[in-house]
Structure 1
Amino acid sequence: MSQLQFIVRTMLVLLIAFTGADYLAQNVPARVEADGWARKRDALVRFYTPSVGRADAPVHIVIFMDPASEICRVFYPLVREMREADPDRIRLTVRSAVVVGDMDKVLEILEAARRQGKFWEVLEGLLHAQPVWVKKDEIRPDAAWKVVENLDIGLDMPRARADAASRDVFLTIRRDKGDTARMVVKEPAVFFVNGKRLPRPGVESLKKLVAESMDKAVSG
């Protein structure tokens, strides 16, 4: 190999190296950021997460809520009414966030109900009867089961109890609790609208963010 050929080949190798480094510098951070958002999006809504409303609705409200919280007991019906007032354009998803006591046993009840397509009925039944199974921040799972048994919604109770005690449900609850921690949810009710966290708690603040998201979806 001549000296000229050696120089030319060396320059080509360096050019490829610098070009590759430049490509990585420009694209890897973006890819990492995209991967980070993908993980955050998964933590926001899992494929099995209870949702109501059209999948292509322009506005998607996700609420992390604690069924044992009095705040959630008051807040949830208002959010439900908001969605029912505009069912074609608003989708609602509920995630469990534990703030009051040890809620695992009650979350297992809700997950077992979800597997029979009865999540919403059981959630609303437990919220309505919250004073029965929550006493001074003490969670009473047996009382919660009694509430569910009396709902008369066609829930297969033996199957529900078996599902609630299964390892599969245990792993689902653990995954959901991990999502809650990842989304930095520490309040009784935390809302996201189209992936954006509600800056201030309150119905009016939620309505404003929903309206803004609706306008953006329509104009976009």
Structure 2
Amino acid sequence: MDKLKVFAIIQQFNKELKIIIGSILALLVIGFGVSFFTQSKPVETVSTDSAPENLVRDFNHRMGPDSAKVKIVEFYDPECEACSAFFPYVKEIMKRHKDKVQLIVRYALYHGNSKLAAKASDAAALQGKFWEYQEVLFTSQNEWSHQKQPATSFFLKYAKDLGMDVAKFETDMKDLRRMETINIDLEDGPKVGVNGTPTIFINGKKLDRINPDYFNEKVEEALAK
């Protein structure tokens, strides 16, 4: 075979190779574009009629009547600064619509002392002081959060300040059974779409963003239905 024929064959092969590579790249670009568009869309919310399974458990802490028209489920972390900052707005909603709104809280724990704080909160609940204790944890968060060592001494002090039986509180906080219900919250969270705190659902619908005005707007919308 002479050199010209060999060169022609090589050129033809190179052209076909470029076409094949170009086609593959085009498919990859299209696929990436579709994937990016899909992932960049706002978080899809779930309708009230198809609320996530196990969004609420019987043992979860509640404020407000079970007959409330609007039910707010908040996954939170006692050590989360955003949760602490958002807490006053949740309280305001509950105060304004106390007979029409129920708040249900669940744990989603991401920080060093979070699990211990959750156990302390549940120990406080056994003495009827869950909400008071949670408020103290938030208002005193700068004292105990981000401690490298367990913040047990702080949690015992807060129990004493609230007039609790501190010996019982400490025993209950250390009881391994505290982690049973906490772990259920931690398992349920990702299954219902929780990947950060706070994450809030209103009547089964997950809010796609967290800010006071939007939160208030969605609560008022649910009340007006």
Q: Shorter-chain TM-score: which interval?
A: 0.7 to 0.9
Letter in 1 for 2:213: E
Aligned partner of 1:211 in structure 2 is 220
Match of 2:96 among 85, 106, 109: 85
Note the alpha carbon deviations across 1:90-129, whole angstroms, 9 max, x for none: 1111112113235211111111111221100110011111
Aligned partner of 1:114 in structure 2 is 125
Asked if 1:164 corresponds to 2:191, the answer is no
Task: Quote the Cα distance in structure 2 between the aligned partners of 1:47 and 1:139.
Answer: 33
Task: Quote the Cα distance in structure 2 between the aligned partners of 1:163 and 1:133.
Answer: 20
Residue 208 of structure 1 aligns to a residue whose secondary structure is: helix
Q: Which runs of 5+ in 1 are unaligned?
A: 1-36
Q: Which runs of 5+ in 2 are unaligned?
A: 1-49
Asked if 1:199 corresponds to 2:211, the answer is no
Asked if 1:133 corresponds to 2:144, the answer is yes
Note the alpha carbon deviations across 1:180-210, whole angstroms, 9 max, x for none: 2322322220110001001221111111211
Task: Quote the Cα distance in structure 1 between the aligned partners of 2:129 and 2:89.
Answer: 20
Aligned partner of 1:11 in structure 2 is none
Task: Quote the Cα distance in structure 2 between the aligned partners of 1:131 and 1:106.
Answer: 13
When the two structures are aligned, how many residues end up with a matched partner?
176
- What root-mean-square deviation, in Å, do the aligned CA atoms of Structure 1 and Structure 2 show? 1.9
Using the size of structure 2 for normalisation, the TM-score is: 0.72
Change (3 A) 1:146 1:166: closer
Q: For residue 139 of structure 1, report the CA deviation from its aligned partner.
A: 6.5
User: Which structure 1 residue ranges, 4+ long, deviate > 3 Å from structure 2?
Assistant: 137-140
Percent sequence identity is 30
Q: Which has the larger radius of gyration?
A: 2
Aligned partner of 1:22 in structure 2 is none
* Contact 1:103/1:139 (<8 A) preserved: no
